[in-house]
């Protein structure tokens, strides 16, 4: 996967905060920011989602579309519930569209696997032509993110931020998933899932 790779289409079970299902295809011409989170992930509540809301406030919807992606890879029984997610979005005042990442073969949901996300929170940037431009796990700075997004708004995708992808560390090796101050990462089932893909 390179900065020029087509961003995989979203695989979502259902959408909240939108009347009609959303596809990346339908958003061509606009930069798309995907904030992958889990409602019980402290780093997502503390940092990732508030930052995604600042992105939505900073940029015009004509230029940048912010989407939430509920990518549950642990505590499925507790988190994979539409009513809990709806209440979570209400309490956290999240108004941008949020899709429930479709269940995968293992614990890792399908879109999270397709984008090889390390865990939550993750922030994915897709350029106006639908190419994957950057993927950040954890806590990227507001200034860096503001600059990267504006870069995509102004530039042709050919100049996409390939560097960011190279910077992504290899997936965590330990068998057990965990949450740190940075964020939450899944355990072994992830690798299983990948081999089966």
Interacting residues toward a copy of itself by CB under 8 A: 40-42, 45-46, 51, 54-55, 58-59, 75, 77-79, 81, 83-84, 86-88, 90-93, 141-151, 154-155, 179, 184
The separation between CA 107 and the C-alpha centre of its own chain, rounded to angstroms, equals 17
**Cβ closest to a copy of itself, residue 27 vs residue 40:** 40
Q: Angle formed by the axes of helices 142-154 and 49-58, to 10°?
A: 40
**Cβ closest to a copy of itself, residue 10 vs residue 55:** 55
CB of 196 to a copy of itself, least distance (A): 25
Residues 6+ apart with CB under 8 A from 173: none
CB of 87 to a copy of itself, least distance (A): 4
**Cβ closest to a copy of itself, residue 10 vs residue 100:** 100
**Cβ closest to a copy of itself, residue 19 vs residue 93:** 93
CB of 39 to a copy of itself, least distance (A): 8
CB of 141 to a copy of itself, least distance (A): 7
Please spell the DSSP secondary structure of 124-165, one letter per residue.
Answer: EEE-TTSBEEEEEES---HHHHHHHHHHHHHS-GGG--HHHH
Instruction: Quote the CA–CA distance of 190 and 147 in Å, as a whole number.
Output: 32
């Amino acid at each position: 996967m390179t900065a020029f790779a087509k961003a995989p289409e979203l695989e979502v079970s259902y959408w909240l905060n939108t009347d009609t299902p959303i596809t990346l295809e339908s958003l061509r011409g606009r930069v798309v920011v995907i904030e992958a989170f889990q409602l019980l992930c402290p780093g997502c509540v503390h940092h990732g989602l508030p930052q995604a809301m600042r992105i939505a406030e900073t940029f015009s919807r004509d230029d940048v579309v912010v989407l939430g992606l509920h990518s549950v890879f642990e505590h499925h029984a507790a988190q994979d519930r539409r009513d809990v997610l709806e209440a979570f979005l209400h309490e956290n005042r999240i108004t941008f569209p949020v899709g429930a990442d479709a269940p995968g073969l293992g614990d890792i949901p399908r879109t999270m696997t397709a984008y090889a996300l390390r865990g939550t929170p993750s922030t994915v940037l897709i350029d106006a032509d639908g190419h994957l431009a950057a993927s950040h796990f954890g806590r990227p700075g507001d200034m860096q993110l503001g600059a990267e997004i504006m870069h995509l708004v102004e530039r042709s995708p050919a100049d996409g931020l390939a560097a960011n992808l190279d910077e992504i560390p290899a997936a965590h090796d330990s068998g057990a998933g965990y949450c740190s101050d940075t964020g939450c990462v899944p355990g072994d089932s992830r690798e299983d899932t990948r081999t089966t893909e």
